[in-house]
Amino acid sequence: MISSVEVHGHRGARGLRPENTLPGFVHALDLGVDVIELDVGLSSDGVVVLSHDQVLSPAVLADTGPAWPGDPAYPYLGRPVRELSLAQLRTLDAGLSCEAAPMPGTRIPTLAEACALLAPTGVRLSVELKTDPSWTDEEVELLTASVAAVLKAFGCTGRSQLLAFDWRVLTEARRHYPDLGRVALMERKTLTRETAWLAGHSPTDPVAAALALGATAVSPEHEITTPTLIAQAHSLALPIIVWTVNTPEDMTRFMTQGVDAIVTDYPDVLQTLQARTPAV
C-alpha cells in the first residue's frame, strides 16, 4: 500500500538550487513543498545565520575577500561559523553549491531574513540547530534561545519545529519553548554505545528514548529506517521523517512502508512520483 507523505525540501531544494539560500527557498516554495528544512548556527556577534556546517566548507562556499582591509581572520573558509561576525560571513559566496543552477553572488542569509521571506507563505519550517557534544550547555541554551526568539518575532513558532542530533537542544526546547515542535535526529554515528549525543539517554532503544525526552517526531537517516523502526515510532504516536531520500525507488519504498514525511534534495521528483502513484 502506498501512503502519501509530506514533502520536506532539504536545505530548500539543494539538488536544484544553492542550499540554505533565499533563492533556494523561493524555488522550493514554487515547487509547493510542505516543509522547508534549513540549518542554523550563531555568528560571533550573536546573529542566527544559515549554515549546514559548523566549519565553513569550500564544498558550498567561496571566499570573495576580507570584510575589511587587513582582517587577520581572512581567509574565512575553514573557520568555525561562531568565530566570525555577520559582516565577515556576509562576504562569502553561497551560490556555488548547486551544479544544476549556480547563482554566483548569493550571500549567507540570516534566520530573520529567511523568516521574513517564508512567514507570509504559510510553509512550515524545520530548523536544524548545528551543535555537537563539544558545546557547553550554556552555548546550546544560547543558540536555542536565539532561534526561538527569531521564530517568535516573525510569528512562525506555531508552524516550526527544531531538529537536532544533539538532543540537549530538544530538552532545552521542551523546558522553555514548548510551542515549538521537537524532532530527534538519528544517524549511525550518534547511536553508538558510548554516544554523547543523546542528552544522557541510551542508544539501545532510540525511539523510546526520543519519546522520553519529549520529542514530537523522530527523523532517522534512511540507512537505518526499517519497517520495524517505523512501526515502533507509530506505536508511540511519533511521526517518522526519513532523510535524505533522492531516488524514486527509495521514495516508493518508504511510502510503501508508511513513513510520514520524506526529506529530499529533489522535491520535484517526490511530488511527481506521488502524482503518478495515488495513495491508497
User: Mutual orientation of helices 137-153 and 111-118 as an angle, nearest 10°?
Assistant: 30
Query: What is the domain partition of the chain in residue ranges?
Result: 6-276
* pLDDT score recorded for residue 277: 76
Q: How far is CA 63 from CA 11, 153, 238, 243, in A?
A: 21, 31, 42, 30
Question: Cβ distance 164 to 170 under 8 Å?
Answer: yes
Give CA–CA dist 244/223, Å, rounded.
Answer: 9
Q: Kindly report whether the peptide bond that precedes residue 248 is cis, defined as omega within 30 degrees of 0.
A: no
* pLDDT score recorded for residue 152: 98
Candidates 109, 127, 150; CA nearest to 38 is 127
| pTM of structure | 0.97
Q: How far is CA 142 from CA 109, 135, 176, in A?
A: 19, 11, 12
* pLDDT score recorded for residue 142: 98
Q: Which amino acid is at 213?
A: L
* pLDDT score recorded for residue 280: 58
Q: pLDDT band for 3, please (50, 70, 90 cuts).
A: confident
Instruction: Quickly list H helices, 79-124.
Output: 86-90, 111-118
* pLDDT score recorded for residue 78: 98
What is the tens place of the pLDDT at every residue in 26-54? 999 999 999 999 999 999 999 999 999 99
What is the tens place of the pLDDT at every residue in 138-167? 999 999 999 999 999 999 999 999 999 999
Give CA–CA dist 89/94, Å, rounded.
Answer: 10
What is the tens place of the pLDDT at every residue in 108-145? 999 999 999 999 999 999 999 999 999 999 999 999 99
What is the tens place of the pLDDT at every residue in 214-224? 999 999 999 99
What is the tens place of the pLDDT at every residue in 47-105? 999 999 999 999 999 999 999 999 999 999 999 999 999 999 999 999 998 998 999 99
How would you classify residue 65: left for phi > 0, otherwise alpha for psi between -120 and 50, otherwise beta? left
* Architecture of the domain spanning 6-276: Alpha-Beta Barrel (3.20)
Identify the residue whose cell numbers are 503518478.
276
Give CA–CA dist 74/127, Å, rounded.
Answer: 29
What is the tens place of the pLDDT at every residue in 232-247? 999 999 999 999 999 9
* pLDDT score recorded for residue 279: 63
Identify the residue whose cell numbers are 511521526.
239
